[in-house]
């Protein structure tokens, strides 16, 4: 018998690669944080002697979900300003609230709340876009999760008291500190084309090239944004960024609800990827990303929740379902964005967009053991003809029982192991008290 750390004996295993494939009564063997074999349960029990044997008789096992766009600490603004248009929401509510409340403590407590919510809903890796990246990195490492964390650049806010030079040197220090880190990768994250100058974007591009860091940026979220930009620059934002040399396979365009034929040609020519946030787009009435058309054109599309202030949760199972349903009505084609494709968007395609697919996104030998288990023996997910379909169209995040990152359990029998849920909830209530009592939204 081969001695290993962990053996997961599952009812179903969805490897993601190949697409739309699942194995019945299979096991995942894990040693030193990596997947070493996927094999039938009966063979696994003979071949391996595991320190931790986990029997998942009613469960489907699959890679951890990847939330490809979020602003974690905005969990503390969840439900603070609902039912508003994007620019009204940002200019009159969110940015003033951030101006009033943003601090290291706010980001730490809000991020911990987000991490707890993400782990409990099966997310093992996220693409972060918010202030105080050092705090976010510290929380992520303490929770033993994985993330690509953006160095946010928003000229009107970030640079209130500091120059572009200061912000970029802070970015350089952050990039250098986390170079080669096993859990934390870094990107450069200009907020959006309407809040960053050409000069700043060129500097960011130089830095991104030097450190081989992706650029993670909101793009073409609404028609109003494009009209305003057109008046200022006589170009659509994507064309403006193309002119500045920013577009490449390292560029992650979040939203892209407004895509004309010229945009489409630019995306194909440059190989940028898209991060689709369907529930945020629906809630802010931003528009519809033409997901199936992008996939048909070989644009890699990942899936994100956006922040909890515009979603209002960080639940990737719900996001997958929304993405699959919305894609069908947009394409006016019920075969658009199948369950298997929606699941790949939330796993392997997310890993591709984050440039972490050598490590995560699918259950393959030598990849990191970032894995979740979902109990399908519940009324809403029985009977099971196809576990992929049940996951995307019927499962709730409460059915997620176990989560591992690099073989380390972060959730065991629905209990968080690296975070103190009770303390996190008390802190959230404390922030609610302070923010509600002195709200800028009165």
Residues within the interface to Zn ion (CB under 5 A): 306
Residue 137 in 3-state DSSP?
A: helix
Give the residue from 184, 159, 163, 156 showing the smallest Cα distance to 96: 156
Chain centre distance of CA 320: 12
Cα distance between residue 256 and residue 275, in whole Å = 8
Rounded to a whole number of angstroms, the minimum distance from the CB of residue 304 to Zn ion is: 8
Rounded to a whole number of angstroms, the minimum distance from the CB of residue 129 to Zn ion is: 6
Give the residue from 316, 276, 342 showing the smallest Cα distance to 65: 316
What is the token pair recorded at 72?
């974690």
Cα distance between residue 343 and residue 363, in whole Å = 13
Which CB, 306 or 359, lies closer to Zn ion? 306
| Cβ atoms of 198 and 244 closer than 8 Å | yes
Rounded to a whole number of angstroms, the minimum distance from the CB of residue 128 to Zn ion is: 10
For Zn ion, the nearest residue by Cβ is 306
DSSP 8-state class, residue 91: I
Cα distance between residue 87 and residue 107, in whole Å = 23
Rounded to a whole number of angstroms, the minimum distance from the CB of residue 384 to Zn ion is: 35
User: Tokens 């940015």 sit at which residue?
Assistant: 95
Rounded to a whole number of angstroms, the minimum distance from the CB of residue 257 to Zn ion is: 12
Cα distance between residue 370 and residue 65, in whole Å = 9
Residue 28 in 3-state DSSP?
A: strand
Rounded to a whole number of angstroms, the minimum distance from the CB of residue 32 to Zn ion is: 36
Give the angle 325-328-334 at the CA atoms, nearest 5°: 110
Parallel/antiparallel/unpaired status of strands 251-255 and 215-219? parallel
Which CB, 279 or 306, lies closer to Zn ion? 306
Cα distance between residue 201 and residue 371, in whole Å = 37
Rounded to a whole number of angstroms, the minimum distance from the CB of residue 220 to Zn ion is: 13
Rounded to a whole number of angstroms, the minimum distance from the CB of residue 254 to Zn ion is: 6
Q: What phi and psi values does residue 281 have, to the nearest 5 degrees?
A: -65, -40
User: Tokens 């766009």 sit at which residue?
Assistant: 69
Which CB, 90 or 371, lies closer to Zn ion? 90
Residues 6+ apart with CB under 8 A from 386: 22, 339
Which CB, 225 or 306, lies closer to Zn ion? 306
Which CB, 26 or 276, lies closer to Zn ion? 276
Which CB, 72 or 390, lies closer to Zn ion? 72
Q: What phi and psi values does residue 190 have, to the nearest 5 degrees?
A: -65, 140
Which CB, 6 or 311, lies closer to Zn ion? 311
Which CB, 306 or 357, lies closer to Zn ion? 306
Rounded to a whole number of angstroms, the minimum distance from the CB of residue 11 to Zn ion is: 36
Rounded to a whole number of angstroms, the minimum distance from the CB of residue 251 to Zn ion is: 16
Which CB, 58 or 306, lies closer to Zn ion? 306
What is the token pair recorded at 153?
């650049």
Which CB, 288 or 393, lies closer to Zn ion? 288
Beta bridge partners of 54: 8
First and final CA of the chain: distance in angstroms? 67
């Amino acid at each position: 018998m081969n001695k290993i750390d962990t053996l997961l004996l599952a009812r179903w295993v969805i490897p993601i690669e190949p697409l739309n494939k699942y194995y019945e009564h299979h096991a995942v063997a894990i040693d030193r944080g990596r997947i070493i074999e996927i094999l039938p349960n009966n063979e696994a029990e003979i071949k391996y002697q595991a320190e931790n044997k986990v029997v998942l008789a009613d469960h489907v096992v699959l890679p951890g979900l990847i939330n490809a766009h979020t602003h974690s600490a905005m969990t503390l603004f969840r439900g603070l300003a609902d039912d508003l248009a994007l620019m009204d929401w940002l200019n009159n509510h969110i940015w003033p609230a951030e101006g009033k409340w943003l601090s290291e403590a706010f980001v730490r407590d809000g991020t911990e709340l987000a991490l707890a919510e993400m782990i409990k809903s099966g997310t093992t890796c996220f693409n972060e876009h918010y202030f105080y990246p050092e705090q976010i990195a510290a929380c992520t490492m303490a929770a033993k999760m994985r993330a690509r964390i953006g160095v946010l650049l928003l000229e009107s806010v970030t640079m209130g008291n500091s120059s572009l030079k200061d912000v970029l040197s802070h970015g350089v220090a952050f990039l250098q500190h986390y170079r080669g880190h096993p859990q934390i990768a870094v990107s450069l994250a200009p907020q959006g084309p309407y809040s960053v100058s050409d000069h700043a974007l060129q500097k960011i591009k130089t830095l991104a090239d030097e450190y081989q860091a992706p650029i993670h940026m909101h793009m073409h979220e609404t028609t109003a944004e494009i009209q305003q930009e057109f008046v200022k620059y006589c170009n659509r934002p994507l064309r403006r960024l193309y002119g500045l040399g920013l577009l490449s396979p390292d560029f992650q365009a979040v939203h892209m609800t407004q895509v004309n034929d010229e945009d489409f040609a630019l995306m194909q020519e440059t190989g940028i990827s898209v991060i689709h946030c369907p529930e945020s787009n629906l809630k802010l009435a931003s528009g519809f990303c033409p997901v199936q058309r992008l996939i048909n054109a070989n644009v890699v599309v990942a899936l994100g929740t956006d922040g909890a202030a515009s979603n209002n949760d960080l639940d990737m199972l719900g996001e997958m379902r929304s993405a699959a349903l919305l894609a069908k009505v947009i394409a006016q084609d019920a075969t658009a964005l199948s369950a298997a494709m929606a699941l790949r968007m939330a796993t392997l395609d997310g890993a591709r967009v984050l440039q972490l697919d050598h490590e995560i996104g699918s259950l393959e030998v030598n990849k990191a053991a970032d894995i979740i288990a979902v109990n399908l023996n519940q009324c809403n997910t029985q009977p099971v003809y196809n576990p992929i379909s049940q996951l995307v169209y019927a499962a709730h995040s409460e059915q997620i029982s176990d989560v591992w990152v690099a073989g380390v359990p972060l959730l065991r029998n629905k209990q968080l192991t690296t975070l103190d849920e009770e303390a996190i909830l008390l802190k959230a209530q404390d922030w609610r008290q302070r923010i509600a009592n002195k709200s800028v939204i009165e």
